[in-house]
Structure 1
């Protein structure tokens, strides 16, 4: 068994990257249904800096409040160290990856060890290392649950109707806005896997990267407006959001769908007039879906791009990198 303490990043107060503190804390004990994972790498995601900035209640989860100090993070890849008595299917020594306890702020992934729900984990694909595996869970599952299968019947905090992915095949055209980012680069590949024609929107520096992932057409948003160049697409997946995200509605054909990853302001009268659907979802932990995604990673059908890596102790620099934007793929923390 490991020693009784470990190193972890904790928040004792909210603020900028400088409030991320490298502490020594007790190693958690796995509760029923959980395993103890020795962490090798941690994915960095937007909810990590939302929590750091002061958001303590996850949308749709009013009881999931945060008390300080707390360990941020949700995405891990590592090795099972111990399992609770009621856990079957995982054993010490298994290499695993997962999105932990999402939607909530209780993943506690920025640490050398984490107690993780077994149902949130999948066996790590043998063909990729821990750094690349840690870059998958939240971004990969977001793309999967928006485009392929939601995987649950739980209500969304963002809309009354259940999100229903659009059928993707060789007769479908998909526009991915923010295509070079974490969710975007998975969405490009998953849409291509299903046979769709993909239009990728990003800054010009990412063109060769996105074409290599399978994008059929590339639009540099710094030079052109997608809504002026593109028409009659079946689906827009917008990973950027912002006050003008509704402009992409005009790229859709009648009967098309707009899936905003970050809910924006859409006028119901306009969407009715255009005869388009706007639908959002909230990503949730799902070990079974991660296992499916893992098979695509193992065969090379889907690849993970790593923007940059930082040690766990240097989490502040990782958050500073995230704040600069224009991320290609994922930022990952490595754990010795």
Structure 2
């Protein structure tokens, strides 16, 4: 019996975008608890290019689970073509989207088909197409788990204590740094959904975009330093990170909190003196939370912005686009 094959992007050696190869490989078979998804679109996320560049061990993991060649990708939207015998809450023909096997590098969504854990999938909102649905899982769940509900008890590799979200309501002012990016534009909208006043920080090219998403104030970081303009903030969500992240501590009121999405350089004595909290988390696959986000997407309360789309065969160009930065929303691969 001949083996059915598909097209997929694989990494055979680590390096730049040029190492992404468009290969012909066997179609995977769903194992226990899994379904086979015919991929319509796959989101492009930072872990994809971290893997391509040579990062093979997730923070918090004792060792690497990556064996080359590997199919990158974690975000998917598509249609179920087959299900394992023990899956009873999904059916062939269902349109689904999800963040697969994260944290980890074995999502394998840059392909025409993927074997996906049923527990990582939610039904795709009927009013949202596959491209926009594929842009939602990792970025949307990151914003959700930082701001709304963590939703799991797994320890964070970035801190000793469990991440605790803070109350966000009409009395809250939230500053989002990197507000135009994948996580940032979701965070802005979720904070607005909860009634908060939101200050968006990004480059000037994104001002109109962020104002349309509901930002109450926009700061162009190329012209002004946010920490010199705003004070008494309740919450800072910093999607940029790095050694300069600690400058936002000066914008917080006593009792306020800063949530760095990427690891930053913070001094415990300084945060204690300021009377503020710094807390981080590691996003994890969560179908229930994704279903809640899906309802907001279907209602038009939250929107997925698409920076650009590329055919699966053009994954190299998608990663080159990501490397240029200043992304507005999400980059998505489409599968014919």
Q: Alpha-carbon deviation of 1:242?
A: 1.5
Which shows bigger deviation, 57-66 or 194-203?
A: 57-66
The residue aligned with 1:205 is 205
8 Å CA contact 1:201, 1:219 repeated in 2: yes
Q: Alpha-carbon deviation of 1:89?
A: 1.1
8 Å CA contact 2:311, 2:334 repeated in 1: yes
The residue aligned with 1:131 is 131
The unaligned stretches of length 5 or more in structure 1 are none
Measure the CA separation in 1 of the matches of 2:222 and 2:150: 33
The residue aligned with 2:104 is 104
The residue aligned with 2:162 is 162
8 Å CA contact 2:3, 2:26 repeated in 1: no
8 Å CA contact 2:81, 2:93 repeated in 1: yes
Moved over 4 A (4+): none
The residue aligned with 2:171 is 171
The residue aligned with 1:277 is 277
Q: How does 1:235-246 map to 2 (within 5 A)?
A: 235-246=235-246
> Deviations 1:137-178 (Å, cap 9, x if unpaired)?
000000000000000001000011100101000000000000
8 Å CA contact 1:64, 1:105 repeated in 2: no
Measure the CA separation in 2 of the matches of 1:242 and 1:320: 22
Measure the CA separation in 1 of the matches of 2:193 and 2:312: 34
Q: Alpha-carbon deviation of 1:78?
A: 0.2
RMSD (Å), alpha carbons:
0.9
When normalised by structure 2's length, the TM-score is: 0.99
The residue aligned with 1:248 is 248
Q: Alpha-carbon deviation of 1:240?
A: 0.4
Measure the CA separation in 1 of the matches of 2:64 and 2:299: 38
- How many residues align structurally? 335
8 Å CA contact 1:64, 1:104 repeated in 2: no
The residue aligned with 1:214 is 214
Could you say what secondary structure the match of 1:107 adopts?
coil
Could you say what secondary structure the match of 1:254 adopts?
strand
Q: Alpha-carbon deviation of 1:3?
A: 7.2
Q: Alpha-carbon deviation of 1:243?
A: 1.5
